[in-house]
Structure 1
């Protein structure tokens, strides 16, 4: 296999997909070999993202695009409704998925892991590729050992399809590994408006804010006697996710089965 990694991008016309295409085109160790989108068929992928023509034309049929592309890795930032079908197609063709689409359930991840292992390949599913966000998760997991009273507030734009966010769920999972489960708050607490206290996970709460003008932020708040600790991460531009996606594409070539969470690649 060539040392140059051949990359296909699913959702190439989306806001994240376009950033992935740009990233691939500017890395000499990566080669864009397929760009898939539900629209703009026949448009050069380079021109689609405001760069010079690269000779890769957008295709609407994922299976056909991968069949003739000799892709090693497929990066998928599509929707929760299409990511599973996309990943099944890719894995069966020996293409390693790097999935940033959120909304996958544990059973979905398990299915893709088995499919990868059965096909002798691997991949990555990560709710967040931002290195800063991963550090936030790691710091929160560490803090939970000492301050087990915690709540998560996550903020996204009003067009986000899933709530709570994949990032907040992953953060909660990491916290739960270091926190003995117990139900926080007053045992006689009563919500006078349904949902006012947010979603319950492992005895603590996750709150989802959805507003126009918001990009992506998350705050993890720990409470203790006479003190609070707040760990917050703010994303301002999709370009900030690309260094992590770049690492994931290269790490995916070494894997057997699915790795869930980008934190496994940040020491």
Structure 2
């Protein structure tokens, strides 16, 4: 009887760096039940043997269409930008709520996803980063933007990260744009030299992405006013465990609204 009240979850990217840690935690949870997983590399196997998980067999599928033949309440999307949007839209159409942990989706992607979620009366919670320190950074940055004139973002990651900027940086730039529009003291058209060194314009914020060996994931927001500056920085370690707590919260909260919400704090305020 206890299992009937559990939220049934499918994890796309369940054998990846973050997805595997989440899958293991769900498997031993008293509130959630992992019923299926998506991993092209391990399709046809059980996730139990891949990740050394005890208990009921968890099938691994190659595609979202196959995975959703197993009834579930929530899809956790933890793959890559190239397939994430297809996974999300397919889940919505099948009546499954979605928690997005994949980075690299654009504002235009989320606009389309939000429209489809509302039309199907489903919920999508897009979380650029599940770490509580990132949730706090976003909140503090929004506060700072109300009072400080200018800001820029530095997005750090390992050399192998293929998307730039990261989902965390995109989300922060979007949220700052909702506070107010900033004006550069020297506009880009009047910038001399190599304009690209000033970073990319993401929703009116200059964003600089570093991709180097030795980094895991870091996010830095720097605010400036005459004679003063403020730096807010999140730094991740090598473990993906800090993301599990936030992901659990997102899974439990995603069904509490209809349409699209962005940011974990949007459901915990």
Residue in structure 2 matched with residue 40 of structure 1 by the alignment: 42
TM-score w.r.t. the length of structure 2 is: 0.91
CA deviations on 1:138-177 (whole Å, 9 max, x unpaired) are 1011011121221111101122222122211221222223
TM-score w.r.t. the length of structure 1 is: 0.92
More helix by share: 2
* 1:32-181 matched pairs, under 5 angstroms: 32-67=34-69, 69-181=70-182
Between the aligned partners of 1:48 and 1:117, the Cα distance in structure 2 is 36
- Structure 1 residues 53 and 229: CA distance shift in structure 2, 3 A: same
SS at match of 1:82: helix
Instruction: Give structure 1 stretches of 5+ with no counterpart.
Output: none
SS at match of 2:68: helix
Between the aligned partners of 1:203 and 1:80, the Cα distance in structure 2 is 22
2:157 and 2:212 in contact (8 A); partners too: yes
Between the aligned partners of 2:133 and 2:186, the Cα distance in structure 1 is 30
Between the aligned partners of 1:183 and 1:203, the Cα distance in structure 2 is 9
Residue in structure 2 matched with residue 4 of structure 1 by the alignment: 6
* Greater CA drift, 227-236 or 158-167: 158-167
Count of residues paired in the alignment: 266
- Structure 1 residues 34 and 224: CA distance shift in structure 2, 3 A: same
Alpha-carbon shift at residue 118 of structure 1 (Å): 2.5
Instruction: Give structure 2 stretches of 5+ with no counterpart.
Output: none
2:104 and 2:165 in contact (8 A); partners too: no
Alpha-carbon shift at residue 97 of structure 1 (Å): 1.1
Residue in structure 1 matched with residue 19 of structure 2 by the alignment: 17
Residue in structure 1 matched with residue 222 of structure 2 by the alignment: 221
